[in-house]
Amino acid sequence: MMDVGRHPNITLYSYSEVDALTGFVGNFHVTIRRKARYVVESECTACNDCVEVCPVVVPDEYQQGFSSRKAIYIPFPQAVPSAYVLNMEECLGNNPIACGKCAEACEKKCIDYDMQDELISIEVGAIIVATGMEVYDPTELDEFGYTRHENVVTSMEFERLICAGGPTEGHFLRPTDRETPKTIGFIQCVGSRSENRGNPYCSNVCCMNTVKDTLLLRDHYPDIEAKVFYIDIRAFGKGFEDLYKRSREGGVKYIRGIPGEIEEDLETKNLLLTVENTTTGQLEKHELEMVVLSLGLVPRHDGDLLKRFLTLSNTSDGFLMESHPKLKPVDAPTRGVFFAGCVEAPKDIKDSVTQAGAAAARASILLNAGKVKVEAITSRIIEEKCNYCGICARVCPYHAIVEPDRKAKKAPVVIQAACAGCGTCAAECPQDAIEMRHYRDEQYLAQIEALMAERPHEHIVTFACNWCSYPGGDDAGTARLQYPTSCRLIRTMCSGRVDEDFVMHAFRLGAPIVLVSGCHFTDCHYISAVQWTQKRVERMWNKLERLGIRPERLQLDWISAADGQKFAKVMRELEEMLKTVTMEEIKHTMEVLSNGKAEKKATAAKKAKVKVKKKTPTKKAKVE
Amino acid sequence: MPEAKFKCLRCGHEYTGSYTPGTPQELTCPKCRSNSVRRLPEKKPAQKD
């Protein structure tokens, strides 16, 4: 931190938040709110005079509440800059000044009660998101008695208790009697690897953190008997297995099983753990003087704003999703944005440093190049057709389309550097006023016509996305999985590109079944484009039903790139469905969609419904 | 979260499940694991005059 603070090329904005963020790769505009610290940091020498006279005493968050601090304080000893912060919510009041002792004590007159938040605008070419994570709150796991039993502490609290800079100056004491415990237990996977409570994922760092803690205890307090209760120890990093072995050889007992209950002896304040040892199959009871809950890691609760600013999405565990898990693990799906540390997934210090180095290198490459090469698959607005409705701007997962100005009759503008080419805008545009370069509507319609040229009633028209479903078909092929030959694939960059016109055209030409397939929601390579696919397919199901066509004939499936099994299974199931579609049904569909009258009628009926909705003053018409 | 009726357009299985209005969710049929799951429109109760 000191190096960062002193580096001539780094401007550090501490005690600040991102207030707004717009723009695109190479041209991000960031508004930073520098919160008022009520202390002139350039003048403050951290002499401590103000702290000594401050009458307000509150729990110290950094020391996990084991010690106290004043309302004017330095958040933690290594904070950069080394200047005080006055917490105005805790201060006795500055308007009118109710105390003012800190200002009186400060010789350099650094205290400024009139200081206001400052907004700073900066322009940057690349952004590295390194906002970290939080730890799981174990209070919901009542069986462990955290907050009920004083001697049950979390791994974070344990760190403070054993740290030389902690509240006990490195003397390891248990909270109730301020004595060094003779027995201690560590419970692993608290808040991790549980489908019912906490989180289903492994938090990656807890096992090795506990192994490290047991070694620390053994070195400093060899008489303490330590027991670790675990599901399984995951020591997969370099040198980790050796550490684990050292811990076992040092006398730490590893018991496979998570305690179901912790009771407290009211007299001694010792803890009685009931656990099923899954190695022996026996129910065991262990009396310990102290228990440490090894907490899992969770995404930050305040990360949504940044996600919205940068059009980022998250994986099912809530951490931010990278552009590609194997090939671009440091890049965000939004160009010019990179990840470092636990914001992307739980990871230890070594991995965080590695990723931070990679992110810095990726950003440097981008900035040094001075220009970016983008795929030519971007959208183009056909201004003559545009009616300035703005749907395209609202559906774009990358916010790459500048909203049109209906009054000034100004068509939307596509920021070419930000457009990723998913095609959702083109598929959603009701006026067909957007063209995707290299993936134009005419090209898709021609492909459909070619597929339907011979024996159309025998073919399942399958729209497969470039990143998941199409490779899923490849996977089925390379694994030599058998699936019916009736499948006819049309590759789209994203399932979001599948226009209603494509599906209806296939039905119009005699397709018995049409399948739209894409990535799973959490794998979508275009942030949220796949969600628009689902909405559109739902709309098409309703439309088909209005036209008297069985909605079942339009199928939807999310197939991942490694799921050749599912691809083959879906194709086999659709082959069975195909047999249920009669020639009369196909002819009826072709007639209904060819004369256009019924289709227009269905569209008109839908529009009439929308009009009725618009008349209701409380409801706003929404883009589906 | 409100509940709704869903129908799998692959196997025909109908079931009741929860959903978040306005937020598309990845739907999977509990019976056949297909994603062709359609949320059935709610039947409005007849209004009394």
- Over the stretch A201-227, which tens digit does the pLDDT of each residue have? 999 999 999 999 999 999 999 999 999
Using the Cβ of A573 and the Cβ atoms of chain B, whether some distance falls under 8 Å is answered with yes
Using the Cβ of B13 and the Cβ atoms of chain A, whether some distance falls under 8 Å is answered with no
Q: Is there a contact between B24 and A534 if contact means CB atoms under 8 Å apart?
A: yes
CB atoms within 10 A of CB A196: 5
**The whole model's pTM is what?**
0.81
Read out DSSP for A72-128? EE-SSTT-SS---EE-TTTSS-BTTBS--HHHHH-TT--B-TT---EEEEEEES-EE
Residue with tokens 């105390």: A99
Sign of CA dihedral A241, A262, A156, A317: positive
- Residue ranges in chain A whose pLDDT is less than 70: 95, 596-624
- Numbered ranges of CATH 3.50.50.60 in chain A: 134-298
B-proximal residues of A, 605-624, CB under 8 Å: 622
- Residue in chain A nearest B29 by alpha carbon: A557
In angstroms, the CA A157 to CA A8 distance is 36
Q: Give the pLDDT confidence score for residue B41 in this predicted structure.
A: 79
In angstroms, the CA A173 to CA A157 distance is 12
Q: Is there a contact between B10 and A573 if contact means CB atoms under 8 Å apart?
A: yes
Which CATH architecture describes the domain A36-116?
Answer: 2-Layer Sandwich (3.30)
Q: Is there a contact between A555 and B26 if contact means CB atoms under 8 Å apart?
A: no
In angstroms, the CA A181 to CA A231 distance is 25
Domain A374-438 has CATH 3.30.70.20: yes
Kindly report the backbone phi and psi dihedral angles of residue A578, in degrees, each rounded to the nearest multiple of 5, phi listed first.
-55, -35
In angstroms, the CA A306 to CA A303 distance is 6
Domain A134-298 has CATH 1.20.120.1200: no
Using the Cβ of B31 and the Cβ atoms of chain A, whether some distance falls under 8 Å is answered with no
Q: Give the pLDDT confidence score for residue A605 in this predicted structure.
A: 61
Using the Cβ of B40 and the Cβ atoms of chain A, whether some distance falls under 8 Å is answered with no
Task: Indicate the residue of A521, A531, A555 with minimum beta-carbon distance to B36.
Answer: A555
Q: Is there a contact between B9 and A538 if contact means CB atoms under 8 Å apart?
A: no
| Contact in structure between A469 and A527 (CB atoms under 8 Å) | no
Q: Give the pLDDT confidence score for residue A51 in this predicted structure.
A: 95
Task: Indicate the residue of A520, A535, A556 with minimum beta-carbon distance to B36.
Answer: A556
Q: Give the pLDDT confidence score for residue A326 in this predicted structure.
A: 85
Read out DSSP for A295-357? E-EEE-TT-HHHHHHTT--B-TTSSBPPSBTTTBSSB-SSTTEEE-GGGTS---HHHHHHHHH
Provide the β-strand partners of residue A94: A97
Q: Give the pLDDT confidence score for residue B6 in this predicted structure.
A: 95
**CA of A517 vs chain B CAs: smallest distance (Å):** 9
| Contact in structure between A494 and A570 (CB atoms under 8 Å) | no
Note the ipTM here: 0.91
CB atoms within 10 A of CB A451: 19
Task: Indicate the residue of A522, A531, A538 with minimum beta-carbon distance to B38.
Answer: A538
Write out the CATH class of domain A441-624.
alpha beta
Using the Cβ of B39 and the Cβ atoms of chain A, whether some distance falls under 8 Å is answered with yes
Using the Cβ of B24 and the Cβ atoms of chain A, whether some distance falls under 8 Å is answered with yes
- Single out the residue of A402, A354, A358, A356 nearest to residue A379, CA to CA: A402
